[in-house]
């Protein structure tokens, strides 16, 4: 931590940095490896030298030679004493990446209030943007609208609730960027105003023909045109939300190779006819696509439930084992397998499949 505070650089793994500094200071490189394979030794030495070079560049300041120094470029953000007062306008198009996928940097140590290791880096960009904005500033980001719909982005939503007047223009059924397949939203925070957050849902907007005036009108008229939203709000005000029911919602069963484990009625009857014991493992299956608004369109499909809780011994079911043998190469390669290629992966809620479903 002392090394990080001195050089303000966080791109190197702490443990590796300490080892490299220790090896460099003790001139210990030649004695590191002992009796090991020469190729491995050369590879390790190359990695070590690369890290040592990075450390030297940090300490000598070489990495900052072409850096952008905002204090010189934007002197207006400083007061007469040289203290930072903030930008009047902050705009951007931050990335939308789960923090769980960013292993190189531990963002938790930087003190972000909205940090959540299961959350998204977008939340950090919002918080940092508000930090560098002056008290009367406006912040406006155009980002994916996915954070409006997901539970793991609750920190971002709380940040908006704690902020001043906010407006979110949420574009649905609209692709603003040709190269991006996600839907977008424009989130704006006006720190000079007080007021509640408002979300305007805008559908089927044509970005190629829309003018600023038309966009402003679409935002103003969003509530009047949002029939789906009005219906949803009416339902929510009179009904009981799903989260208020004492129910558990699970993912289902992952086989890793449906062709082997999901069978039709004919195959099911064939397997049971050869050995009645097979009926113990064959269960009726409903897929997500089979569930409609008011009914289930049962496709008469069945799951061979060679579960892993505890692992089913496939040798006790020779007919089913023979069925699996035709697919053995695919079963062996799949990631979603249990103790043997014949077993399904572990399922913590397996017993719940025997309970009443709705």
pLDDT of residue 66: 77
pLDDT digits (tens, 9 = 90+) for 225-265: 666 667 767 877 787 777 778 877 777 888 999 999 999 99
The dihedral through the CA atoms of 58, 60, 66, 68 has a sign that is positive
| 91 strand-pairing partners | 140
| Choice among 36-50, 188-202, 307-321 with the minimum mean pLDDT | 36-50
| Choice among 28-32, 171-175, 217-221, 310-314 with the minimum mean pLDDT | 28-32
Using the 8-state DSSP alphabet, how is residue 310 labeled? T
Mean pLDDT across 161-185: 77
Let me know: does 123 contact 159? Beta carbons within 8 Å: yes
Residue 330: Cβ-neighbour burial (10 angstroms; 0-12, 13-18, 19+): middle
pLDDT of residue 273: 95
Dist CA 297 CA 343 (whole Å): 28
pLDDT of residue 17: 59
pLDDT of residue 215: 78
**Mean of all residue pLDDT scores within the chain:** 80
Mean pLDDT across 278-297: 89
pLDDT of residue 229: 66
Confidence of residue 23 (pLDDT cuts 50, 70, 90): low
The SS3 of residue 301 is strand
Exposed e or buried b for every residue in 57-92, given b needs 16+ CB within 10 A?
Answer: ebeeeeeeeeeeeeeeeeeebeeeeeeeebbeebee
Dist CA 160 CA 140 (whole Å): 12
pLDDT digits (tens, 9 = 90+) for 314-353: 999 999 999 999 999 999 998 888 999 999 998 888 888 8
Query: Residue 295, Cα to own-chain centre: how many angstroms?
Result: 32
Domain architecture of the chain: domains with CATH: 2-64 (no CATH), 80-242 (3.40.50.150), 258-354 (no CATH)
Mean pLDDT across 117-135: 88
Exposed e or buried b for every residue in 112-127, given b needs 16+ CB within 10 A?
Answer: bebbbeebbbbbbbbb
- Tell me the pTM: 0.49
Determine the Cα angle at 129 with ends 127 and 133, to 5°.
120
pLDDT of residue 309: 87
Q: Is the pLDDT of residue 1 over 50?
A: no
Dist CA 340 CA 3 (whole Å): 49
Smallest CA-to-CA distance from 261 within 301, 227, 310 is with 301
């Amino acid at each position: 931590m002392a090394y990080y505070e001195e050089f303000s650089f966080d791109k190197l793994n702490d443990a590796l940095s300490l080892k490299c500094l220790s090896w460099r200071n003790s001139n210990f490189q030649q004695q590191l490896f002992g009796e090991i394979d020469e190729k491995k030794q050369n590879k390790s030495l190359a990695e070590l030298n690369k890290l040592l070079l990075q450390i030297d560049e940090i300490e000598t300041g070489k990495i900052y030679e072409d850096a952008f120094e905002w204090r010189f470029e934007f002197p207006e953000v400083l007061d007469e004493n040289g203290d930072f007062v903030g930008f009047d306008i902050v705009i951007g198009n931050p990335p939308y990446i789960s923090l769980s996928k960013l292993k190189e940097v531990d963002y938790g140590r930087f003190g972000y209030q909205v940090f959540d290791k299961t959350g998204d880096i977008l939340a950090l960009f919002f918080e940092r943007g508000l930090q560098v904005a002056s008290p009367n500033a406006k912040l406006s980001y155009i980002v994916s609208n996915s954070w409006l719909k997901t539970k793991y982005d609750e920190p971002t939503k709380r940040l908006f609730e704690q902020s001043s007047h906010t407006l979110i223009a949420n574009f649905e059924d609209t692709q603003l960027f040709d190269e991006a397949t996600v839907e977008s939203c424009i989130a704006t925070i006006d720190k000079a105003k007080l007021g509640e957050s408002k979300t305007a849902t805008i559908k089927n907007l044509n970005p190629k023909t829309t003018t600023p005036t038309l966009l402003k009108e679409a935002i103003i008229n969003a509530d009047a045109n949002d029939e789906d939203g009005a219906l949803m709000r009416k339902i929510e005000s009179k009904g009981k939300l799903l989260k208020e029911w004492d129910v558990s919602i699970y993912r289902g069963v992952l086989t890793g190779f449906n062709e082997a484990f999901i069978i039709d009625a004919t195959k099911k009857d064939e397997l049971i006819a050869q050995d009645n014991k097979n009926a113990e493992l064959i269960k009726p299956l409903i897929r997500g696509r089979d569930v409609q608004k008011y009914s289930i369109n049962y496709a008469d499909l069945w799951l061979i439930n060679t579960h892993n809780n505890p692992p089913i011994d496939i040798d006790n079911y020779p007919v089913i084992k023979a069925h699996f043998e035709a697919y053995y190469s695919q079963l062996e390669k799949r990631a979603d397998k249990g103790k043997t290629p014949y077993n399904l992966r572990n399922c913590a809620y397996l017993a719940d499949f025997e309970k009443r479903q709705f």
